[in-house]
């Protein structure tokens, strides 16, 4: 693995971290609960992508399994939050 | 051969990262719950799929190809379902819409169309 390759992958991880920060700003601002849930879902997906790139950088294919689990948990939590928002509003 | 593969991996990873960054900027700047949802449900799944393709190409392992294909399928299957659930919850609870957003009362099935 050459240095150029490694530097590019590190910059890509930085770009993903910047995207996660922007999603976190929306999570902190979000006027309603549904906006916050959307931002949280996107932060989970970006985290899975960050883990995938970390798997390339650190040479550990096991990172992929953790990313898979993170994506799955993000979907389930989004579905449960949507159900909770509807249930809280009325019967 | 190895250099060509590395260039391909870097191109895919850059494409995925930039798509995700554009989606995050859109999530921050869109005026409305529904338009934010429209941004945040499509672009990250394509971006992360591109990153997964880069990882599978970097290692070139059959098991990793299979697992990343499974994760791409999972992302493309679950992202629309999650977006639909959140949009439904936001609509039911009466989330305020931007002034550019209009509701079609006929649900896209106007008589005579």
Phi-psi label, residue B70: left if phi above 0, alpha if psi -120 to 50, beta otherwise: alpha
Q: What are phi and psi of A21, to 5 degrees?
A: -65, -45
Residues B43, B23 contacting (CB under 8 angstroms): yes
Write the pLDDT tens digit of every residue in A66-86. Answer: 999 999 999 999 999 999 988
Calculate how close chain B gets to A8, using CA atoms only, in Å: 7
**Residue B104 pLDDT class (50, 70, 90 cuts):** confident
Report CB contact under 8 Å: B81, A75.
yes
CB contact under 8 A, B89 and A46: no
Query: pLDDT digit string (tens) for B77-99?
Result: 999 999 999 998 888 887 778 77
* Mutation target vs A (from B31, B44, B45; most A CBs, 10 A cutoff): B44
Q: What is the pLDDT of residue B5?
A: 85
What is the tens place of the pLDDT at every residue in B4-34?
A: 888 898 999 999 999 999 999 999 998 888 8
- Rounded to whole angstroms, the Cα distance separating A24 from B30 reads 15
Looking at residue B113, its pLDDT comes to 45
The CATH code that applies to domain A6-89 is 1.10.287
Q: What are phi and psi of A60, to 5 degrees?
A: -115, 105
Chain centroid to CA B70: 16
Nearest to A19 by CA among A38, A36, A42: A42
For B91, the closest chain A residue by CA position comes to: A86
Please say whether the beta carbons of A43 and A70 come within 8 A: no
Give the whole-angstrom CA distance, residue B69 versus residue B72: 5
Q: Return the domain boundaries, chain B.
A: 2-92
The span from the CA of A20 to the CA of B112, in Å, is 47
pTM score, whole prediction: 0.88
């Amino acid at each position: 693995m050459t240095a150029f390759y490694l530097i590019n992958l590190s910059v890509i991880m930085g770009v993903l971290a910047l995207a996660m920060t922007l999603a976190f700003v929306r999570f902190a601002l979000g006027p309603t609960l549904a906006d916050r849930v959307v931002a949280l879902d996107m932060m989970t997906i970006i985290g899975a992508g960050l883990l995938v790139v970390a798997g390339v950088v650190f040479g550990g294919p096991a990172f992929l399994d953790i990313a898979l689990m993170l994506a799955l948990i993000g979907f389930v939590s989004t579905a449960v939050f949507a159900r909770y928002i509807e249930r809280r509003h009325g019967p | 051969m190895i250099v060509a593969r590395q260039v391909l991996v870097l191109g895919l990873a850059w494409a995925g990262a930039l798509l995700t960054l554009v989606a995050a900027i859109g999530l921050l700047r869109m005026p409305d719950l529904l338009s934010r949802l429209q941004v945040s449900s499509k672009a990250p799944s394509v971006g992360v799929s591109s990153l997964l393709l880069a990882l599978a190409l970097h290692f070139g392992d059959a098991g990793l190809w299979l697992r990343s294909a499974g994760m791409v399928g999972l992302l493309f299957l679950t992202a629309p379902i999650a977006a639909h659930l959140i949009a439904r919850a936001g609509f039911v609870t009466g989330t305020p819409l931007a002034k550019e957003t209009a509701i079609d009362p006929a649900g896209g099935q106007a008589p005579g169309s």
